[in-house]
Amino acid sequence: MPSNVRLRYLLPALLALGMIICGVVVSAVNTRNNLRDAARVAHSRHVLLALQDTLRNALDLETGQRGFILVGDPEYLEPYHSALARMGAQLAELSRLTRDNPVQYHRTAQIAELVEALEAGHLRTIEIRRQSGLAAAVAGVSAGGGKERMDRLRTIVDRMRLNENAELDKRAAKLAASLRRTDLTVFVSGVIAIGSGVLGAMLLLLFLFSKDREAGLRLQKEKAEEADRAKSEFLAIMSHEIRTPMNAILGFGELLHDFAESPRQRHFAAAILSSGNALLSLINDILDLSKIESGKIDLVPEVVRLRDFAGNIETLFSFRAAEKGIGFSVVIDPALPFVLVFDALRLRQILVNLVGNAIKFCREGSVTTTLRPGTESPDGSLPLIVEVADTGIGIAPENLEEIFRPFHQVDSRQSRDFQGTGLGLTICRRLAAVMNGEIGVESRPGKGSIFRVTIPTRISGGQPAAASEVAPIDFNTLRPSKILIAAGDPLNRELIRNYLATSHHEILEAANAGEAAELCRASQPDIVLMDPGMPAMAGTQALEALHALGEIPPDAAFSPPLPRSRTALKSDFDPLADMPPSRRRLFAELAKILPPAASPGRDAPPTTSTAASDPPATDHADFSELLDELEILRHSVWPDLVKLVPAQGSIDFAAALGDLARDFPCEPLRLYSATLAEAAETLDFSAAGRALRNFPRLIEQLRTEP
């Protein structure tokens, strides 16, 4: 609609609206004045009533006194005592009512003095009557000046009445005039309202004539929304396509790091991994945001042991907080149930963002994460409230909503002082909304912030699966198996082949699903690592062919094409991982399917001695001696290490354990020392700390070895 046409339509409506607002304002002002004048009128009437009561009480005092003097009967003093009891409260009320009028307040003070003098005179004459008789009392009344005081009291009360009556007449006249103005204003406002109704009807007719125009605008809006959805889908696809080679880069970086021969080479490989992980984190943030915008987030509720869930968060961030010299703790309210049902992956993603931000923006003090229950709903759901409180730089009140905008930081200097993309909090809020929860924040600049996440959960009587311990990455600990890698991308096949190159597993490769089916028919592999998006034959069609060959458990170690959801693929492939997997993820997924390798110390048949003079086997004695050595380390070296996790100290400790593992052939101890050494040498303090905390558990496991 052209601007001149809009102005022609809007100007009468704005004029009418302005007149209505003016009428309403005037009416409101007049009504307020009326109420104030009415209050003043009521105040004057209260003053008049108080004056009347005061004079009546003074007369009752005098009447009671005179009756007693004349008759001498104490019953005549009852009106006197009643009036005396009321007089104090009455004078206080009169003083309160006249406090806003200096003249009347002064007169009230004079009345109080006169009443006090009258009361003293009455008491004196009553006492004379009791002790000396009627004649002495009459003489005391004549000489006491009571009549003069009563006359002055009446005069003051009359003056106050005249003053209040004059004020009352003036305020009543003003109130009447104000009511007339209010009536006129209401009448004018009614006329304006009727005129506005007529004008509104005319504008409605004009609005109906503009429906075609609105239809065109609606069509343009739909096109814009469709373009936005297409943008989100394009962003998701591009992020996915970028993430796929990034995972391969990280995988080969891991291999380079493992096969590096010098510390300098390992340092370069660690730099590649660190930078690659930072870039992958950014890509994952963009991918998550685009998934949320396009509505493709799948929630997977599971039974979660809250202590393990909180321990995971504490382990993840405790060393990062220690590096900055700040405190970090995770507190669980005792009122929370032992287990709850919710999507642990998504809540962990929210908390990783919130706790990471809290530690990043906290220069000193502490960060505390608290898990507590909300009020249970009638349907049985229990809100889980997670608060992340820090003593960091804080956020200004006007920026509390701005921080949830995508790619936004409240201060441009933060992009230099605290690196970040500005996507984390946006993803947190949208993930919370997807989980039917909410996220809020309280903060003061320089005092810290409290982020509060509330999500609905269900109370479950089931038990979660036991949390797996962090194990060394050694594919030889799994049973020797024949593994088929079915992937169209040669880099993905090469990466997994190199992961397994030094293991005792036999590796087969197929470039497409058809080749995979032929190799399965010819070689009968124990496990198949399959990409569902391979060329020449759909992965799900190949799955049917594989199932027809026998019990071959397929493991989809590569992420599916975007058009198909992970939920649908999960029903076909078990387990399901991203493409290509990291070495640790591949080991974890294979460990779910392949049993552990046979232990030579336990499963191999015992060897018999060929000479009668040979001593008997001393494995058990050596094992006991090993435990003694480990206990010595546990009480001498280990306590200081587990507190600070120093890199060189952890390396030396791992070397000492490695020497013990060779002296007393003990495979679990060798694997543990290798894991600790790798974490310490690569400065992975989180993994090193977890390994050190598991040292007492390792001793207990060795102690219970059969």
Q: Give the pLDDT confidence of 544-571 residue by residue, as tens digits.
A: 555 554 444 444 444 444 434 444 444 4
Residue 209 has pLDDT above 80, yes or no: no
Phi, psi dihedral angles at 468 (to 5 degrees): -80, 140
Report percent pLDDT > 70 for the chain. 73
Place 623 in a pLDDT band, splitting at 50, 70 and 90: low
Distance CA 145, CA 440 (A): 78
Residue 217 has pLDDT above 50, yes or no: yes
**pLDDT at residue 437, rounded to an integer:** 92
User: Is the backbone of residue 445 left (phi > 0), alpha (psi -120 to 50) or beta?
Assistant: beta
Query: One-letter amino acid identity for 21?
Result: I
Give the best-scoring range by mean pLDDT among 172-181, 201-210, 265-274: 172-181
Q: Give the pLDDT confidence of 380-417 residue by residue, as tens digits.
A: 789 999 999 999 888 888 777 777 775 555 554 444 44
**pLDDT at residue 466, rounded to an integer:** 44
**pLDDT at residue 317, rounded to an integer:** 83
Q: Give the pLDDT confidence of 325-338 residue by residue, as tens digits.
A: 899 999 999 889 88
Distance CA 401, CA 410 (A): 10
Among 34, 44, 36, smallest CA distance to 169 is for: 44
Q: DSSP per residue over 399-467, as a string?
A: GTTGGGSTT--SSTTHHHHS---S-HHHHHHHHHHHTT-EEEEEEETTTEEEEEEEEEEEE--S-PPPP
Q: Which residues contact 606 (CB under 8 A, 6 or more apart)?
A: 617
Top-confidence residue, 6 or 173: 173
Torsion (CA) 181, 183, 189, 194 in degrees, nearest 10 = -150
Place 534 in a pLDDT band, splitting at 50, 70 and 90: low
Distance CA 392, CA 326 (A): 10
Q: Kindly calculate the radius of gyration of the chain based on its CA atoms and give it in whole angstroms.
A: 45
Task: Detail the DSSP E strand segments found in 252-378.
Answer: 302-305, 327-332, 339-342, 366-373
**pLDDT at residue 65, rounded to an integer:** 74
**pLDDT at residue 372, rounded to an integer:** 94
